[in-house]
């Protein structure tokens, strides 16, 4: 079984093997599982231990994940844990030494059942998810194994909102790597960028160099 997490470019129409879309407001991210038997693509597992079982091989692999690919993939994988039916966002905090410090995804606070609070985006404020949901960046920072995140960087699928921007800045994180900036025209993102600029937090967009990362359970 192969788990495909594909980048935020247009992925074409969904395939029959799709298990769902990692949606950022109903677009762009496709997630699909396919079996080896039904795959039309050559299996290219990132962990290619089986493929490289030949003991005569002495050269290192050349198609290993870059650090950016690795941490962004962890962020996207974390997003799959979200119960939000419309928007699944994951985040991964990495240290200057390239160690994973924290991960998170959007969800309700601890003890608040995913079944009791609303996931709606429309209606009166208290009947929507907005007053209750914790964004991925907040959870990744709070879940971090160390308190001081100075010189860390955070990988996120979506450019942070202003509220997460405050958390990121105050945590000491110095760089944001994001996939999508689809809300760049909103006041929230404009405010976040204003704060990042004044605080010296660098922001750069992740540009994938491969179509997908495959995670196999078999
Ligand atoms: Zn946020």
| Gap between the Cα atoms of 157 and 62, Å rounded | 26
CB contact at 8 A, 25 and 41? no
* pTM (predicted TM-score): 0.77
pLDDT at 33 over 60: no
* Mean pLDDT on 34-47: 40
Over residues 142-178, the pLDDT tens digits come to 999 998 999 999 999 999 999 999 999 999 999 999 9
**Mean pLDDT, all residues of the chain:** 83
Give percent of the chain with pLDDT exceeding 90.
Answer: 65
E strand or H helix that includes residue 77: helix 67-79
Concatenate the DSSP letters of all residues of 101-145 into one string: EEEEE-BPPTTS-TTTS---SSSSGGGSSTTTPBPHHHHHHHT-S
How does residue 86 score in pLDDT terms, banded at 50, 70 and 90? very high
pLDDT at 51 over 90: no
Q: Which residue, 104, 157, 114, 112, is CA-closest to 135?
A: 104
Expressed in angstroms and rounded, the spacing between residue 89 Cα and the centre of ligand 1 is: 10
Expressed in angstroms and rounded, the spacing between residue 149 Cα and the centre of ligand 1 is: 18
Secondary structure of 160-218 in HEC code, one letter for each residue: CCHHHHHHHHHHCCCEEEEEECCCCCCHHHHHHHHHHHHHCCEEEECCCCCCCEEEECC
| Gap between the Cα atoms of 160 and 178, Å rounded | 8
Expressed in angstroms and rounded, the spacing between residue 167 Cα and the centre of ligand 1 is: 9
How does residue 24 score in pLDDT terms, banded at 50, 70 and 90? low
Expressed in angstroms and rounded, the spacing between residue 192 Cα and the centre of ligand 1 is: 10
E strand or H helix that includes residue 21: strand 18-21
69 noted as active-site residue: no
* Mean pLDDT on 74-98: 96
pLDDT at 18 over 50: no
pLDDT at 15 over 90: no
Q: Which residue, 72, 102, 69, is CA-closest to 89?
A: 72
6, 69, 137, 175: which one is catalytic?
A: 137
């Amino acid at each position: 079984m192969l788990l495909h997490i594909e980048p935020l470019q247009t992925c074409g129409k969904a395939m029959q093997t799709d298990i769902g879309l990692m949606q950022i407001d109903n677009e762009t991210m496709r997630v699909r599982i396919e079996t080896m038997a039904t795959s039309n693509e050559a299996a290219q597992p990132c962990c290619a231990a089986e493929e490289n079982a030949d003991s005569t091989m002495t050269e290192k692999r050349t198609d290993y994940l870059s650090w950016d690919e690795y941490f962004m993939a962890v962020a996207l994988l974390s997003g799959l844990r979200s119960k939000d039916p419309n928007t699944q966002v994951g985040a991964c905090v990495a240290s200057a030494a390239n160690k994973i410090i924290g991960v998170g995804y959007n969800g309700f606070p601890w003890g608040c059942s995913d079944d009791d609070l609303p996931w709606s985006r429309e209606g009166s404020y208290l009947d929507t998810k907005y007053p209750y949901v914790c964004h991925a960046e907040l959870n990744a920072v709070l879940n971090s194994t160390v308190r001081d995140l100075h010189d860390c960087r955070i990988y996120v699928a979506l450019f942070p909102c202003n509220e997460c921007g405050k958390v990121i800045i105050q945590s000491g994180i110095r760089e944001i790597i994001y996939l999508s900036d689809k809300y760049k025209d909103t006041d929230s993102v404009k405010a976040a960028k204003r704060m990042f600029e004044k605080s010296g937090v660098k922001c750069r967009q992740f540009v994938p160099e491969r179509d997908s990362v495959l995670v196999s359970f078999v």
